[in-house]
Amino acid sequence: MAEQNQNDDTFRVIDRRLFNTEGELREDAREQIEQEKKVEPAKPEKKGAGDGRERAAAAPEAGPAPTRSPAFEMLIDLVARNAVALLGGMADPRTGQPMVDLEGAREVVDMLDALREKTRGNLAQEEEQLLLDVIGSLKMSYLEMSKAAAAAAARERGRGKL
């Protein structure tokens, strides 16, 4: 039962890179691209073949492509820096010791995940990529710190038994 609860508190890392280590397009990425191509041509057919008013009315729905916002990128940077600090990446100015708060770091990364989910489709490509890179990097750091903390706790328990 405790093992099940432990698994509920961990991150699941999904490799969403398009290319494998050899530089070739990954099979699941290829399938996703093919599915998107099948969906895109279907959209114009749904608009109807009337006198053109339907098409003119539907055009504003798509709207202009999202543009890059320096303020949004600064927001991502601010939140990411907080997560890095909680993962021990910065020293406490009072003690000089690294601050490690794994639970707090996990919550900050969860906030970035929620931000990504809520802004899906409204971000410029550069912003989406920045957010993906930051979240992936923070999740990997969190996993490494969690493993290190678990190993340190196990060593401490082992010393206590002697």
Band of residue 19 on the pLDDT scale cut at 50, 70, 90:
confident
At 40-69, the pLDDT tens digits run 554 444 444 444 444 444 444 567 888 899
Whole-angstrom Cα distance, residue 126 to residue 72?
A: 11
Whole-angstrom Cα distance, residue 44 to residue 60?
A: 14
Band of residue 81 on the pLDDT scale cut at 50, 70, 90:
very high
At 119-139, the pLDDT tens digits run 999 999 999 999 999 999 999
Q: Residue 34 above 60 pLDDT?
A: yes
How far, in Å, are 23, 82, 128 from residue 120 at the CA level? 27, 23, 8
In this prediction, residues 68-90 reach a mean pLDDT of 93
* The model scores a pTM over 0.75: no
- What's the pLDDT at 62? 62
Q: Which one-letter DSSP state was computed for residue 24?
A: P
Q: Residue 93 above 90 pLDDT?
A: no
